[in-house]
Amino acid sequence: MNKVPLIHVTRRKDIFWVRAWLVRIIAVALALVVCGVITMMATGLNPIKVYAAMIDGAFGTSRRLWMLLQNIAILLCISIALAPAFRMRFWNLGGDGQALMGALGAAASMILIGDKVPNWLLILIMIVVSICAGALWAGIPAFFKARWNTNETLFTLMMNYVAVQLVAFFVIVWEVPKGAGKIGIINQNSNAGWFPQVGGQKYLLNVIIVSVLTILVFIYMNYTKQGYELSVVGESEPTARYVGIKVRRVIVRTMLLSGALCGVTGLLLVGGTDHTLTTTLVGGRGFTGVMVAWLAKFNPVFMVITSFLIVFLQRGATEITTTFGLNQSFGDIITGIILFFIIGCEFFLNYQIHFRKAHKEVA
Amino acid sequence: MKNFKKISALLLAAAMVSGMVTVVPAEEAEGTQVVAGLICLHDENSTYDLNFINCFKEACEARGLVEGETYYITTNIPEGQECYEEAMNMVDRGCNFVFADSFGHEDYMIEAAKEVPEVEFCHATGTKAHTEGIQNFQNSFAHIYEGRYLAGIAAGMKLNEMIEAGDITAEEAKIGYVGAYTYAEVISGYTSFFLGARSVCPSATMEVTFTGEWEDETLEKEAANRLIEDKCVLISQHADSMGAPTACEAAGVPDIAYNGSTMAAAPNTYIISSRINWVPYFNYVMDCIEAGEDIADDYTGTIETGSVELGELNEAVAAEGTAEAIAEAEEKLVNGELHVFDLSTFTVEGAAIESYQADVDTDAAFEKDTEVVADGYFHESEYRSAPYFDLMIDGITLLDTVF
């Protein structure tokens, strides 16, 4: 007798894009309904008011809108940094550490030579140092992978902890005041190494830089020879070798690029907005970026949408906890439910579930 | 399907419209209406933040402010750019008084203060307001070292009781202390606590260990357990979780708490606690804003202002006569007969201190800039509100200073 499993899953053929987006919209709507029910049961609040507060928290004032854009820019920057590596099927989980090393490089330049060189030269040095630091942090696991085929997932992950410890060490070296365990804002009065404000807006420069980088990465991945090579390596290493692609070189090259872009993220955080160095500066965005990149299927343009969604949820969640005096975990629950539905719907878009049909049992 | 889309679109639109409407506080005739915002490093699970949250709610509600309308509390804001963003968010909510509770928030509050001069930004435990010269940025703290000293007396009495009962010898009267960072606020705290204990139990010694975090329950619990294994017979802490009190309760070792009573969680070992009551300061600031008056750059609460408080005394654990001994010392502190850092009561590397330059004005080089010793005692929290006593006195052993 043929054994048919109760449930079996097959890959879907290409789904029409209108239908795919309809499914996504329904998923979001369903998530909102479920969140609404849970909100009412757990807190007795009117869910419409809760959603209104979320939207207010993200878009309510021009300042909130700018902060939203800034946070999207930083998350997007780290996500487009990871995308080429992931397209190559190189699991770079070290985005946090690579960005942190970039931040360390920028902060070190500001602290050590902030008052010794003119500002334009200082900023130039910061750019070079942080890009090199990020690239180095990604280059080490890439080199080991290319040379001895070490496991890049573990290696890049471990490098995060090394980076955090390095930063923790230098925070103590540069702490102000003594014993406080924090650096505070670097060059708060001289503003040495602070990026200039464009158009009187604190965050505009970061947004512009990340927008340009996003377009460049999109072009690099889709319309250049190197971008094609890394896709081939990702699809199948033997094929890549067969057509004459130098796999080792592609791995190292792509990871250097990935790390350099992560370094830029750190640079933008230290030079552009935060002007400080802490172990939590990057705040797990190297991991959130993995989700952003995956959800967008490594397409930098879609990543704009997915990073917007995640940042919106984060900022909205903070707002509802403050407005309604709830514990922060409640915001996390709401965010979790919405993400669950979105990721779940991606599964159903890619796979089809077949149930065993009852009448076949009889035969 | 189509209907569903329509409904969800309608819902979204409705949500967006109502989201645009922000509450604008009404100007009252007699003065400015206060809208207050509190920014906390952690949430109510940290004893330190809980103390701020309770005091803030008490002060705000006493003058009729309503949470979510005329006062706001945000928790879990790290010591980074997030603090600046949240401070500006408070401004957007209509706040004219924003308060941040953690030491590392200071620089970000300064950034916010520079940007919005019409809003008052106040910050607990900071050091820079008296030198930065920003009109709408203020620091505040309290003579908590006096509260610590009084709590220390309760510790000393307990040690005496143990010695008299024969549980330990006089030489074994060793206190354990869980600190956060090797920072002046912590050093001042444990030293004053120790001096209080030694004032009644002369043979007392103390061991201090640091966690390198303001709040980390696991680290604090482990630190307390390590101290207990090291034969410390009484524990106190300057770290913000329930780690040390619960470790003490499990091991049956008496504990002196900070930031508030931990009696509910540790009924068999909690003796007493000291805390800063922030209500007087919050009232002072909000009164100033209502009346349109300037707020002091640097506010230091005292026992007399009601800012330094001891928590409930656990009679079941405390030694007999503790309440009386504390009351007596408190009176002497208030009338100036007694000084916590009296130079005749401690030595540093075997020698008495005659003069000391403290780093009162914060700078990257830690430059010692102010003479703080006069009239036979160390003048703590007089030249600025935040503590600057950072001497390592004899009788206290630091097990580690890595942080």
Q: For the residues of A334-355, what is the DSSP string, one character each?
A: HHHHHHHHHHHHHHHHHEEEEE
d(CA B72, CA B95): 8
Residue A1: the pLDDT is: 52
Residue B21: the pLDDT is: 43
Q: Which of residues 142-181 of B touch A (CB under 8 A)?
A: 181
d(CA A269, CA A286): 13
Instruction: Provide the token pair at B92.
Output: 């957007």
Residue B256 has pLDDT above 60, yes or no: yes
Residue B86 has pLDDT above 60, yes or no: yes
User: Which residue among A28, A49, A177 sits closest to B127, beta carbon to beta carbon?
Assistant: A177
Q: Are A7 and A356 in contact (CB under 8 A)?
A: yes
Smallest Cα distance from A308 to chain B, Å: 17
Nearest CA in chain B to A31: B8
Residue B15 has pLDDT above 70, yes or no: no
Residue A331: the pLDDT is: 84
User: Which residue among B14, B73, B104 sits closest to A322, beta carbon to beta carbon?
Assistant: B73
User: Which residue among A52, A181, A188 sits closest to B19, beta carbon to beta carbon?
Assistant: A52
Instruction: Provide the token pair at A103.
Output: 């931040």
Residue A206: the pLDDT is: 95
| Nearest of B303, B321, B304 to residue B313 by alpha carbon | B321
Q: Are A135 and A265 in contact (CB under 8 A)?
A: no
| Residue B7 pLDDT grade (very low, low, confident, very high; cuts 50, 70, 90) | low
Instruction: Please report, to the nearest 10 degrees, the dihedral formed by the alpha carbons of residues A16, A18, A24, A27 taken in order.
Output: -100
Please judge whether B187 and A179 are an interchain contact, meaning their C-beta atoms are less than 8 angstroms apart: yes
d(CA A313, CA A330): 12
What percent of chain B is modeled with pLDDT above 70? 92
Residue B344: the pLDDT is: 94
Please judge whether B92 and A22 are an interchain contact, meaning their C-beta atoms are less than 8 angstroms apart: no
| Residue B17 pLDDT grade (very low, low, confident, very high; cuts 50, 70, 90) | very low
Residue B403: the pLDDT is: 52
Please judge whether B363 and A176 are an interchain contact, meaning their C-beta atoms are less than 8 angstroms apart: yes
d(CA B309, CA B307): 6
Please judge whether A188 and B390 are an interchain contact, meaning their C-beta atoms are less than 8 angstroms apart: no
Q: Are B285 and B295 in contact (CB under 8 A)?
A: yes
| Nearest of A118, A123, A121 to residue A268 by alpha carbon | A123
DSSP B15: H
User: Which residue among A48, A182, A274 sits closest to B81, beta carbon to beta carbon?
Assistant: A274
Residue A295: the pLDDT is: 87
Give me the sign of the Cα torsion angle A268, A272, A273, A276: positive
Q: Are A114 and A280 in contact (CB under 8 A)?
A: no
Residue A347: the pLDDT is: 85
Please judge whether A176 and B362 are an interchain contact, meaning their C-beta atoms are less than 8 angstroms apart: yes
| Nearest of B274, B301, B369 to residue B124 by alpha carbon | B301
Q: Which of residues 249-288 of A touch B (CB under 8 A)?
A: 269, 273-274, 276, 278, 280-281, 283
Mean pLDDT (whole number) for B225-230: 96
Instruction: Write out chain B residues lying below 8 Å of A54, CB-based.
Output: 19
Mean pLDDT (whole number) for B84-98: 95
Q: Tell me which residues of chain A have a pLDDT lower than 50.
A: 361-363
Check residues B229 and A345 and name the one with the higher pLDDT: B229
- Asked if B191 is an interface residue toward chain A (Cβ–Cβ < 8 A), one would say no
Check residues A19 and B283 and name the one with the higher pLDDT: B283
Residue-wise pLDDT for B193-208, tens only, equals: 999 999 999 999 999 9
What percent of chain B is modeled with pLDDT above 90? 83
SS (H, E, C) A127-188: HHHHHHHHHHHHHHHHHHHHHHCCCHHHHHHHHHHHHHHHHHHHHHHCCCCCCCCCCCCCCC
How far CA A289 is from CA of A234, A292, A298, A311, in Å, comes to 19, 5, 11, 11
Q: What is the mean pLDDT of chain B?
A: 90
Structural domains of chain B in order of their starting residue, each with its CATH number:
9-142+277-301 (3.40.50.2300), 144-274+310-335+386-398 (3.40.50.2300)
Residue B13 has pLDDT above 60, yes or no: no
Q: Residue ranges per domain, chain A?
A: 76-305
Residue-wise pLDDT for A49-87, tens only, equals: 988 998 999 999 999 999 999 999 999 999 999 999 999
Peptide bond into A177 cis (omega under 30): yes
Mean pLDDT (whole number) for B122-131: 92
Smallest Cα distance from B337 to chain A, Å: 32
Q: How many CB pairs under 8 A join A and B?
A: 131
Residue B28: the pLDDT is: 45
d(CA A319, CA A328): 10
Residue-wise pLDDT for B32-73, tens only, equals: 899 999 999 998 889 999 999 999 999 999 999 999 999 999
Residue A325: the pLDDT is: 85
d(CA B193, CA B235): 11
Query: Which burial class, exposed, middle or buried, applies to B216 when counting CB atoms under 10 A from its CB (0-12, 13-18, 19+)?
Result: middle
